[in-house]
A = this chain, B = another copy of it.
């Protein structure tokens, strides 16, 4: 399994802690979009990772999101939509995740798991990796996804309050469940991890799915699976459809205590892409669309009923990349991305 840690100007102590929680046998892939001007934070991350890998004798790749050879290889291999006007990989966690998937494909891994870098507890990082592994062990299909449901997400406000649900998750789960209810005719609350940043996939599933840009990526993964393999719309991929796709939602034992960065405003900005993705799903009917519009007006994220929520940009599935071409262009570079590389 490859464990991917997307980083952006995270505190180094947090980053080091998260890295130390990843089991030894996983290939670490760090995709960083930290600043390089003024203070070269990427350099500091690389040094910290190198020191850690040196003493623990383990393997890790670290790559900057604005790495030129990377962008060039992506372009040549036919993945130009990931590149911005400057010819470099676009900023954003979604783009970092897709690149990590491609690197994991090159490294011939079977599984890929994502863990955010802002976690205070190395012990919960270890738990996430073990939960991923537990899900994959339980799976009977090679097309499998594991999503983590946090037991608690404590809020720090004059003491600790052990909150179970974030507001965005709660609303986003509700509409995801409506989508399933209206298509099956049975009401359900089965989806509890619509916005799970902590999740993992078998690469055979990962390479099949299209991914949304920005904050819509996690809910869109579920939507893409429902659309492609749900049996309501025509099946997208017969081999995978025959095996079936398994989704595990597993509750962690540790509370999720992470760096509080998001203002309430940012939180709300996450809700719009999540609900927009559901709105624009081919599985979404008129009732759901209407109630999403009402919700967005209540949340003051759109102004009136005539406004249509923005359709999330969808990147094509990673398996459409010309992998041999990408590999060929990156062959010399891959070693330079090793945490222990001397430059």
Residues of chain A whose beta carbon lies under 8 Å from any beta carbon of chain B: 13, 17, 20-21, 120-124, 126-127, 154, 156-160, 162, 253-255, 257, 260
> Assuming the A-B contacts A156-B156, A156-B160, A159-B156, are A253 and B21 also in contact, with contact meaning beta carbons closer than 8 angstroms in the complex?
yes
Contact B120 A255 (CB under 8 A): yes
Chain B residues with CB below 8 A from A255, complex form = 120-121
* A-B residue pairs, 9 tightest by C-beta: A123-B123, A123-B254, A122-B253, A123-B124, A20-B253, A123-B127, A121-B254, A156-B156, A122-B254
> Assuming the A-B contacts A121-B123, A121-B124, A123-B121, are A253 and B17 also in contact, with contact meaning beta carbons closer than 8 angstroms in the complex?
yes
Chain B nearest CB: distance from A48 CB in Å? 14
Nearest CB in chain B to that of A157: its residue: B158
Chain B residues with CB below 8 A from A257, complex form = 257
Nearest CB in chain B to that of A127: its residue: B123
Give A314 to B255 CA distance when docked, in angstroms: 40
Nearest CB in chain B to that of A254: its residue: B123
Chain B residues with CB below 8 A from A254, complex form = 121-123
- Given A122-B253, A159-B260, 12 more A-B residue pairs with CB atoms under 8 Å apart are A17-B253, A20-B253, A120-B255, A121-B121, A121-B123, A121-B254, A122-B123, A123-B124, A123-B126, A123-B254, A156-B158, A157-B158
A123, A157, A159, A255: most-surrounded residue (chain B CB, <10 A) = A123
Chain B residues with CB below 8 A from A157, complex form = 158
Chain B residues with CB below 8 A from A158, complex form = 156-158
